Structure 1
Amino acid sequence: MILTCPECATSYFVDELRIPRSGRMVKCTNCGARWRAFQDPGEPEPSPPEDDLVVEGPPPESPPPVAEDAVAAPEPRTRRKPAPPPKPKRSPVLPIGLGVLAALALGAGAAIVLRHQIAGAIPATAPVFAAVGLPVNSLGLVIEGVASKPGFQGGRPVLSVTGAIRNVRKDAVGAPPIRVSLLDRNGKVVAGVAAQPLNAKVPPGATRYFALSLLDPPSGAHDLEVAFDPDAEVRAPPPTSSTTAAPPPAEAQPLPPGSPDALEAHD
């Protein structure tokens, strides 16, 4: 006899001797549904089998039999191998972005290292570097070895300030005026003096020394500040000479007549 699953409609061949008149619980191996199967009406009730019967498989084209509480194999289905997922396409945005970031990093590093040369060629960039905490020496000159010493000059107190100017560039640079300022404890200028250094043209890598005197320094001075002041209006010191120029020689004059050293006239 043929049994059909009420859930998935899968059909199975079953020996009639396995199904009594009172019915029997069977299980579909395809969907797992259970139901009570009965013999076809009108058929005589078969005698119970003396022992369990082994249900043989149906012909090749027939559906498989269903055994009691046994898992029946469903009809074979042809499975297709799933197509491999498509490979994700790489977007060119990421490599381009990384390249731009690398170029910006290299450019920023070069700008930091060469900021003095850049500021020398383009002075307007100096405030930009200073705003980001990278001061720029646009002059190419540095003041070093500043020292001060109090003393007296003509009976008046005087503060003598000395130091050196060094050229850090590869070309000669003209030194601007130097200003010496005395500051109080609050950083306010209480006295100062500016002067143009001697031999203001400083060759590449060379050093020039300066000396300034500040008369009557106030007693409230606490700090000393020495810096270049290109806007200071000062007169260049007159050139000094170690020797005094001799007066021009006088012209020779004849001796008066009657002088004992006068020569006699000859015709």
Structure 2
Amino acid sequence: MSGRRYLCGAWPAGLVAPLLLAGCASAPLEQASTLQSYDRLAEANGLVTRSRLRVDEAAIREAKTVQIVPTAFGAGTLRIPLNAAQRRLVANAVDRALCAGLSERFQVVGPGQPADLTIRALVTHVTPTDTLAVGASRGAAIAKMVLLPGVPVPVPRIPIGMGTLSLEAEALDLKGDQKAAMIWARGAHMIGSGRMAVEGDAYALASEFGYDFSRLLVTGRSPFGQLPALPSAHQISTSLGGAAASRACEAFGRNPGLAGFMGGQLGLPPGWTDKGAVAR
């Protein structure tokens, strides 16, 4: 899973075809002026992810409990053509991935309870997915299955209208001091054929951000520039719809699991298989 988090332009030449190098959507590294501080944020990129971050490793390692403030969309995203339900689905995908990842080491507590760290994330930019382009990609994949059945040649996604997602997030201690922060941006790429929904790529990328920021806090180090690691038993369980280690994560609902995976393979809108957050 972590092996996919890399900057498009940094792919080693011997690993992928030049066509793939041009097949990544470019996501802006937005700064929305909502973080307590932007000082000492250092560039930390992966192969398809752009990021600037900082972390107080000593303070993070001392923390035992965390609280997640539900992710919001920034004022700069008001003109993006996502309706309220689609925005809630993307924001909740961020929170669900954050909670699952953080609960591997921290005790996640509910709203109003004291916590060593409070996590706040904000969506700063979204590029909607072009559903017609996704449909064309799906058609090409189906044509390949009909014309070349059994031939193990992947059909790359048409590199048009691919979505992007940018966020900024921070972790504050009990005094309100910033102990970790990250500005993050990533675009969809040609591997996979996407979902036929304007929020399709943003929804998928939301989970990737949640993974990256939770790893920053769990390890106290950048999640980028490391060798890919095998997923833990907890990661496998939550990805299949199992409960996270902290009961408070139930507020964000569970991963749609196999139904979500099949929906993604068929290109279905994420709302068809994801029930979203638990009603409060």
Provide TM-score, normalisation by structure 2. 0.20
Q: Relative contact order (C-alpha < 8 Å, sep 6+): which is higher? A: 2
Quick check: which one's strand share is greater? 1
Provide TM-score, normalisation by structure 1. 0.21
Quick check: which one's helix share is greater? 2
Larger Rg belongs to:
1
